[in-house]
Amino acid sequence: MTSPVPAFWSPRIGALEPYVPGEQPRIANLVKLNTNENPYQPSPLAIDAIQQAAANGLERYPDPTSLALREAVARRHGLKVEQVFAGNGSDEVLAHAFFAFFQQAEPLLMPDVSYSFYKVYAQLYGIACELQPVDDGLRIDIEAMAARARGGCAGIVIANPNAPTGIGLPLSRIEQLLAACPDRVVLVDEAYVDFGGESALPLIDKYPNLLVVQTLSKSRSLAGLRVGFACGQQHLIDALVRVKDSFNSYPLDRLATVGAAAALKDEVWFKTTRDKIVDTREGLSLQLEDLGFEVLPSQANFVFARHPQRDAAELAALLRERAVLVRHFKQPRIAQYLRISIGTREQCSVLVQRLQEILTETP
């Protein structure tokens, strides 16, 4: 970056390339399939808990340890509460983990196609990254990554299922990475795991270098509440707590703590809404294929698809003119793909209709 740094800025601020979230425009009757939000409401138990907490007053600070939430996570996943850390969205949890574990002499390893926020955190904290190319099917090359890790690294970060491809890895592949990188943390970001992925949480007692991060934004419909958590052996959690308590003692407010804890206890609501999304995803994938798209196999609440004859950026713009938002990433290797979040069945059928119109009416 050669642009001059404005007065008052710390020297490194001008060089940052911040993450750009998907847009949240105010358009009437918008079909919003661009940020992987859940189209269904959160559990009514969560709403009740939030309303009750608000009625009980907000004049006191919340519990700085978010114990009620961490207990709910521990109970749901068969962990000890000391193995759970909670934060203001998993993005914050990820940032703390980067700060706590990856500031090392060697570079941090990550796939070249992955959640684009990882590179932003690395830049913020001055962590060098080494991007491992995914294969031609956009699959993470575990053999290559494990081999590279054995040569020494600051750690590994992957999303499983991966973003924005939706492709999941079996646990045996995660174990391969954990074994290849025993002296550094392997961070597995499971933002989408509930939609069909295989969670690494059962491996925590076996691997002292495993940190698993999850969010309530996607499968629990609580993107607006901002709650995420990390699970790992206590020595990793202790490091995250040290970072958190050097940054913000109260990242989770009273409403978020109780709302998230209640949502984690509503297994019926969770399964019902999750199953609808998985079912809609499978139907949408087939419909997109009928329209000529190539659709990657998804284990997430979105699909990643390209049309061999049509430019992806142009398709996204034409959809936007028709009040349908999908996400397009202007990035090498994936510039011809669209990432389409799974909405309700009605929203997805509007998308398919609009795509049909575009493909037949525009050159």
DSSP string, 95-119: HHHHHHH--SSSPEEEESSS-THHH
Binding to ligand PLP in span 194-253, by CB under 6 A: 215, 217, 223, 228
Query: Minimum Å distance from CB 340 to ligand PLP?
Result: 14
Binding to ligand PLP in span 75-94, by CB under 6 A: 89-91
Rounded CA gap, 255 and 290, in Å?
45
Rounded CA gap, 282 and 206, in Å?
34
Query: Minimum Å distance from CB 71 to ligand PLP?
Result: 19
Is the link from the previous residue into 161 a cis peptide, with omega within 30 of 0?
Answer: yes
Whichever of 36 and 347 has its CB closer to ligand PLP, that residue is 36
By CB under 6 A, tell whether 34 contacts ligand PLP: no
Picking from 222, 219, 218, the residue whose alpha carbon sits closest to that of residue 257 is 222
Whichever of 156 and 191 has its CB closer to ligand PLP, that residue is 191
Query: Minimum Å distance from CB 89 to ligand PLP?
Result: 3
- What burial class does residue 106 get, using C-beta atoms within 10 Å of its C-beta: 0-12 exposed, 13-18 middle, 19+ buried? middle
Picking from 118, 82, 78, the residue whose alpha carbon sits closest to that of residue 97 is 118
CA angle 26, 293, 32 (to 5 degrees): 15
Query: Minimum Å distance from CB 2 to ligand PLP?
Result: 31
Query: Minimum Å distance from CB 150 to ligand PLP?
Result: 26
Whichever of 33 and 355 has its CB closer to ligand PLP, that residue is 33
Query: Minimum Å distance from CB 294 to ligand PLP?
Result: 22
Whichever of 53 and 97 has its CB closer to ligand PLP, that residue is 97
By CB under 6 A, tell whether 163 contacts ligand PLP: yes
For residues 231 and 204, the answer to whether their CB atoms sit within 8 Å is yes
- What burial class does residue 61 get, using C-beta atoms within 10 Å of its C-beta: 0-12 exposed, 13-18 middle, 19+ buried? exposed
By CB under 6 A, tell whether 302 contacts ligand PLP: no
To the nearest 10°, report the CA torsion of 174, 177, 183, 185: -50
Whichever of 134 and 163 has its CB closer to ligand PLP, that residue is 163
The answer for residues whose C-beta is within 8 angstroms of residue 53's C-beta and 6 or more apart is 254, 255, 258, 259
Whichever of 111 and 228 has its CB closer to ligand PLP, that residue is 228
Whichever of 215 and 257 has its CB closer to ligand PLP, that residue is 215
Binding to ligand PLP in span 186-205, by CB under 6 A: 189, 191
Query: Minimum Å distance from CB 343 to ligand PLP?
Result: 16
Q: x/- contact string, 104-123, with ligand PLP (CB under 6 A)? A: -----------x--------
Residues of this chain that bind ligand PLP (CB under 6 A): 36, 89-91, 115, 159, 163, 189, 191, 215, 217, 223, 228
